[in-house]
Amino acid sequence: MSFGGGHRVATLRRWTLHTVFNFSTLHNFLPWLENKAASTISSSLSIANSSSYGNSLFASNSIQTGDCILHVPYSVQITPDNLPPQIRSLITEDVGNVAKLAIVLLIHKNLGQDSEWYPYISCLPPQAEMHNTASFLL
């Protein structure tokens, strides 16, 4: 997933990351992502709290058309492919990707700080702010 290269600047002004429970979690998210993705995140991006949108990713400087401001390789995205083999073998072919992703999230939420995805999982909105039936799993 890359943001930049042909996308209009106006569409990059705000990308909501949902509620984060404390400043430390919020402050550490971008460096963690940068380390995990092994790529540099544009200094034009910052995370801040908006009274209207909660914790969000903002453009803190002008972004020019064609600038790559964030690159997250597929290999470091949390996806249904992250299901552990011992669980994948128990799931039938008719189980969709949304359900598989929900299982991955549940596994990592249960691991807490022992999860490699903890900095991301801790940025997800609390259950009370989620507005779909899958949220009841978390």
User: Which tens digits make up the pLDDT trace of 18-38?
Assistant: 443 455 666 778 888 888 888
Per-residue confidence (pLDDT) for residue 18, from 0 to 100: 41
Q: Is the pLDDT of residue 124 over 70?
A: yes
Measuring CA to CA, which residue among 68, 67, 91, 66 is closest to residue 81? 91
| Amino acid at position 86, single letter | Q
C-alpha dihedral over 102, 22, 77, 52, to 10 degrees? 80
| Amino acid at position 63, single letter | I
Q: Is the pTM of this model over 0.75?
A: no
Distance CA 55, CA 15 (A): 9
Q: Is the pLDDT of residue 17 over 70?
A: no
- Mean pLDDT in the chain? 76
**Strand 2-3 to strand 14-16: parallel, antiparallel, or no bridges (unpaired)?**
unpaired
Which residues have C-beta within 8 Å of that of residue 11, sequence separation ≥ 6?
none
Residue with tokens 């943001």: 3
Per-residue confidence (pLDDT) for residue 115, from 0 to 100: 93
* pLDDT confidence bin for 45, thresholds 50/70/90: confident
Distance CA 52, CA 73 (A): 30
Structure tokens at 96: 């969709």
Distance CA 95, CA 35 (A): 32
